[in-house]
Amino acid sequence: MTNTPTTHDPNLPQYKLIFLGDQSVGKTCILNRYVNDEFTENYQATIGLDFQSKNVKIGDQEVNILFYDTAGQEKFRSLIPLYTRDAKIILLVYDITCKDSFVHLSDWLHELTNVNKEEVILALVGNKNDLKENRQVTVEEGQKFAEENNFIFQEISAKENDGFTDLFNNKIFEEIRTKFKPEGHLPKSEGNDIVLNSEDKNGKAKKKCGC
Ligand code: GTP
Ligand code: MG
């Protein structure tokens, strides 16, 4: 990683969320849907790492989520331990229309052997559930894997914007609230939003690096 977010309001709790999973399962699309409410059919492989951030409300507390969007390509796999360091939320994504991406979850678990599971929120996400006619992984299979490995589970569609409220608001943010207690932080001071290299008018910072 060559470019790192440098400054953010220290009074605003910040949680690093990392996307992991095979190439083309939809990690970047999930992020773009969630942060920018955009979706594209064109596949452009992530090279190295992208990141974006978004301020969200958890209860009455505003917090900043810093999203690390990793590349699924095998050649970038050696960087994963570096990226998972300090992550508070790990989103492991598979494609419900691609059995291989589900079978490979065990390889991804292996990448997490050095992660202290007590200190992080783990979520398993089955993406592309708009393509039910091409389904190769059942909901039950996803649920079973999640239960066995202590992951939150949610099927979603980045394309149809389905399942996002359940995944983020109802499950991940609820877990942040109970596990990390963000309301214990100092209150946010006026006018100090997160600052990365560039920021759009909605206060969403966006940055990209290739390494
Ligand atoms: P890497 O960056 O190579 O690791 O891939 P990725 O996991 O980031 O996949 P990406 O988000 O680039 O999406 C791959 C392809 O899947 C693109 O053509 C997307 O349009 C498509 N896609 C992503 N999410 C969905 C979805 O929910 N439904 C459907 N039908 N297609 C999707
Ligand atoms: Mg990507």
What is residue 11's predicted lDDT score, i.e. its pLDDT?
Answer: 82
As residues whose CB is below 5 A from the ion ligand 2, the structure lists 27-28, 46
- Which tokens in the block code for residue 19? 């996307």
Going by C-alpha positions, the residue among 116, 27, 40, 37 that lies closest to residue 67 is: 27
- Which tokens in the block code for residue 11? 């009074």
Decide: 91 in ligand 1 pocket, CB within 6 A. Answer: no
Residues 159 and 173: their CA atoms lie apart, in Å, by 22
Q: How far is CA 163 from CA 20, 77, 151, 168, 192, in A?
A: 18, 28, 16, 9, 31
- Which tokens in the block code for residue 200? 């759009």
The one-digit pLDDT tens for each residue of the chain (211 residues) are 334 454 567 788 999 999 999 999 999 999 999 999 999 999 999 999 999 999 999 988 999 999 999 999 999 999 999 999 899 999 999 999 999 999 999 999 999 998 998 999 999 999 999 999 999 999 999 999 999 999 999 999 999 999 999 999 999 999 999 999 887 765 544 443 433 333 443 444 444 444 4
CB 142 within 8 A of CB 155: yes
Residues 40 and 81: their CA atoms lie apart, in Å, by 29
Decide: 158 in ligand 1 pocket, CB within 6 A. Answer: yes
What is residue 200's predicted lDDT score, i.e. its pLDDT?
Answer: 41
SS3 at position 70: strand
Going by C-alpha positions, the residue among 74, 204, 89 that lies closest to residue 154 is: 89
What is residue 209's predicted lDDT score, i.e. its pLDDT?
Answer: 43
What is residue 35's predicted lDDT score, i.e. its pLDDT?
Answer: 96
Ligand 2: centre distance to CA 19 (Å): 9
- Which tokens in the block code for residue 102? 């589900």
Vertex 167: Cα angle to 170 and 209 (nearest 5): 130
**Kind and range of the H or E run holding 17:** strand 14-20
What is residue 185's predicted lDDT score, i.e. its pLDDT?
Answer: 64
